[in-house]
Amino acid sequence: EIKDRTLILDATHNPEGAEMLEENLQRLVGEIGKKPVIVAGTLGEDRGRSLMEVAVKYAEKLYLLAPAQDRALSTDALAELIPRGFQGPVVKDTIERLFSAPYRCTVGSPGDTIVITGSLYLIGEVLQHLQGIPDSGLQDKI
């Protein structure tokens, strides 16, 4: 359940945003005294590469998801972009399994800080599932 985890939603969807994400994750780790669990999914290889380069520096554990978009990187493709040397576990999963209504999150453990980052579509889908909102069709499929 969300009540025993802290969820941070971060829409880092491009290489420029990854620079700000790094600053924010560095500050977060200093504040909470441990690495967060990072949930990531993105559109496009360049975006995925820059996101993974930052995420692996700060992730206790890394969950990979694929937003429901034609341009989304698959979890396999995103995993291939993880820089060598990451020692934490990597889990390929689905939004539906990890986030469900009413406000249930199965990522991490009680007390963990969970950073959900990447595509704006990913953030929207996570919120939709957590709030139990049916697919509104508002997200484009281009």
Task: For the chain, 142 residues long, give each residue's pLDDT as a single digit of tens.
Answer: 587 999 999 998 788 899 999 999 999 999 999 999 999 999 999 999 999 999 999 999 999 999 999 999 999 999 999 999 999 999 999 999 999 877 889 999 999 999 999 999 999 999 999 888 876 554 554 4
- Residue 12 near residue 43 (C-beta atoms within 8 A): no
What is this structure's pTM? 0.92
* Strand bridging mode 113-118 / 37-41: parallel
